[in-house]
Chain A
Amino acid sequence: MRSARACLASLLGSGGMIVLLIVLTAAGTALVQPRFFNALNIINILRNAAILSVASMGQMLVMVAGGFDLSVGVIVALASVQTALLSGIIAGWMPDAPILALILATLLTMVTGALIGSVNGAFVSVFRLSPFMVTLAMSSVVMGVTFYVTKGIPIYGLPDAFMNGIGRGMIGRCPVVVVIAVAIVAAVIILQRATTLGRHIYAVGSSPHAARVSGVRVRPLLIGVYAVSGAAAAIAGILLTARIGSGQSTLGGTLALETIAASVVGGVSLLGGTGRAERVMLGALFLSLVANALNLLRIDSKYQTLVLGVVLIAAVCIESLSGVRRRHD
Chain B
Amino acid sequence: MAGGAHLLELIGARKRFAGSVALDNVDFDLRAGEVHVLFGENGAGKSTLINVITGNVAPDAGEYRLAGAVVPHMTPRLARDSGLASVFQEFSLAPDLSVADNLFLGREPNRVTFLNARAMRKAAGEFLARLRFNVPPEALVSRLSRAERQMVEIAKALMDPHARILILDEPTASLTDADAEKLFAIIADLKKRGVGVIYVSHRMREIRQLADRITILRGGRLVATVPAGGVTESQLVELMVGRPIGDLYPKINHHPAEVRLAVEKLSSKDGRVRDVSLNVRAGEVVGLAGLVGCGKGEVGRLVFGLDAIAGGRVTVDGQAVGRPAPREMLRSGVCYFPADRGQDGLAFNRPVRENASAAALDLRAIGGGGLLRLREEARRVQSVLQRLSVRPLAPEQQVVQFSGGNRQKIMLARGLMRDIRVYLFDEPTVGIDIGAKAEIYALVRDLTEAGAAVLLSSSELPELLYLANRIYVMHEGAIVDELSGENKTEAAILACFFGRKQSDSAAGSRTAA
A residues near B (Cβ < 8 Å) are: 2-3, 6, 193-197, 199-200, 202-203, 206-207, 209-217, 269, 271, 273-274, 324, 326-329
B224 on interface, CB distance cutoff 8 Å: no
* Interface members, chain B 413-472 (any A CB < 8 Å): 414
* Interface members, chain B 295-351 (any A CB < 8 Å): 304, 306, 326-327, 329-330, 336, 338, 342-350
Count of CB-CB pairs between chains A and B under 8 Å: 108
Asked whether B326 lies within 8 Å of A214 as measured between CB atoms, the reply is yes
Closest Cβ of chain B to A197, distance in Å, is 6
Tell me, in angstroms, the Cα distance from A207 to B348 when the chains sit together.
8
Most A C-beta atoms less than 10 A away, residue of B47, B330, B342, B349: B349
Asked whether A209 lies within 8 Å of B361 as measured between CB atoms, the reply is no
Closest Cβ of chain A to B390, distance in Å, is 17
Residues of B near A197 (CB, < 8 A) are 370
Asked whether B400 lies within 8 Å of A203 as measured between CB atoms, the reply is no
9 other A-B residue contacts (CB within 8 Å) besides A6-B18, A203-B347, A210-B345: A196-B361, A199-B367, A203-B350, A211-B347, A215-B358, A216-B326, A216-B327, A326-B348, A328-B90
Closest Cβ of chain A to B149, distance in Å, is 17
Asked whether B400 lies within 8 Å of A214 as measured between CB atoms, the reply is no
Closest Cβ of chain B to A245, distance in Å, is 39
Tell me, in angstroms, the Cα distance from A3 to B345 when the chains sit together.
30
Closest Cβ of chain B to A316, distance in Å, is 17
Question: Which partner residue on chain B sits nearest A191 by CB separation?
Answer: B370
B403 on interface, CB distance cutoff 8 Å: yes
Closest Cβ of chain A to B405, distance in Å, is 12
The one of A202, A206, A212 in contact with B306, judged by C-beta atoms closer than 8 angstroms, is A212
The one of A194, A211, A326, A328 in contact with B372, judged by C-beta atoms closer than 8 angstroms, is A194
B513 on interface, CB distance cutoff 8 Å: no
Tell me, in angstroms, the Cα distance from A274 to B122 when the chains sit together.
47
Closest 8 CB pairs of A and B: A206-B347, A214-B358, A329-B47, A215-B327, A196-B367, A209-B344, A214-B359, A196-B361
Asked whether B400 lies within 8 Å of A324 as measured between CB atoms, the reply is yes
Tell me, in angstroms, the Cα distance from A203 to B362 when the chains sit together.
14
Asked whether A195 lies within 8 Å of B343 as measured between CB atoms, the reply is no
B374 on interface, CB distance cutoff 8 Å: yes
Residues of A near B349 (CB, < 8 A) are 206, 269, 271, 273-274, 324
Asked whether A199 lies within 8 Å of B372 as measured between CB atoms, the reply is yes
- 9 A-B contacts (beta carbon < 8 Å): A199-B354, A199-B372, A202-B354, A203-B350, A207-B344, A210-B346, A212-B326, A329-B47, A329-B48
Asked whether A207 lies within 8 Å of B370 as measured between CB atoms, the reply is no
Residues of B near A274 (CB, < 8 A) are 349-350
